Chains A and B, each alone.
Chain A
Amino acid sequence: GQNIDQPTEMTATEGAIVQINCTYQTSGFNGLFWYQQHAGEAPTFLSYNVLDGLEEKGRFSSFLSRSKGYSYLLLKELQMKDSASYLCAPRTGGYQKVTFGTGTKLQVIP
């Protein structure tokens, strides 16, 4: 089975930096997605890591360590609109199945 662990909730200040950690235990690992989900909406793609290391994309960066089963999402220059749930989602298997944990609900405060 799959086991995905993220903090349930985080609070950060507008303009600051926040790091959301994710640890996972899977079999047949192919890569890891990060998605953003606002309440009542479908997830939107943020990043996909296959190899170890840091991928930077604008204000968002994602890091992966396959050997440690660990990833993080780094959000810089936080904006109020970044308040959302952030989902760490490993991809596994021949059908490229993606499994979600409960996500981290981030609240950005003024």
Chain B
Amino acid sequence: GAVVSQHPSRVICKSGTSVKIECRSLDFQATTMFWYRQFPKQSLMLMATSNEGSKATYEQGVEKDKFLINHASLTLSTLTVTSAHPEDSSFYICSANRLAGVETQYFGPGTRLLVL
């Protein structure tokens, strides 16, 4: 079964609004979660590493004031897309490391964001 969940699975919003996406690890604790973005027919691009209890680490070119990350507990990380614009429309996917023999990274089902 699924080990990482995301909510919502799909969201449509107006330009200028903010959207919050939740990522939860199910039945395990994740001190580190990752947020990716994927545009159609392109590869997954790592946006940031979310660390429980500390600030997220953003990849080069990702605006931290635009994409707010909060990892408030060992099972929940949130990504807020602030003042969303049509170019932010994308598939946002989170992942978490789970120790199962070796530490394996599992992905959530993704959130499809459409900004009108």
The interface bits of chain A over 82-110 (1 if a CB of B lies within 8 angstroms of the residue's CB, else 0) are 00000100010001111111110000000
Q: Does A24 contact B (CB under 8 A)?
A: no
Tell me if B49 is interfacial: C-beta within 8 Å of chain A. yes
B46 touches A (CB below 8 Å):
yes
Interface size on B, residues (CB 8 A): 24
Interface of A, helix, strand, loop or mixed by DSSP: loop
* Contact yes or no, B34 A45, CB < 8 A: no
Q: Which of A13-21, A36-44, A60-68 binds B?
A: A36-44
- Indicate with 1 or 0, residue by residue over A23-64, a CB within 8 angstroms of chain B CB atoms: 000000001010100001111110010100000000000000
A49 smallest CB distance to B (angstroms): 10
Do A91 and B105 touch across chains, with their CB atoms under 8 A apart? yes
Q: CB distance B102 to A48 under 8 Å?
A: yes
Q: A103 near B32 (CB under 8 angstroms)?
A: no
Q: Chain A contacts of B108 at CB under 8 A?
A: 42
- Which of B42, B51, B91, B105 contacts A98 (CB under 8 A)? B105
Residue B87 is within 8 A (CB to CB) of chain A in the complex: no
Residues of A within 8 A of B45 (CB): 100
Which B residues are in CB contact (< 8 Å) with A102?
A: 42-43
Judge if B57 is at the interface, Cβ distance under 8 Å. yes
Chain B residues near A44 (CB-CB < 8 A): 107
Chain B: residues with CB nearer than 8 A to chain A?
A: 32, 34, 36, 42-46, 49, 51, 57, 91, 93, 95, 97, 102-110
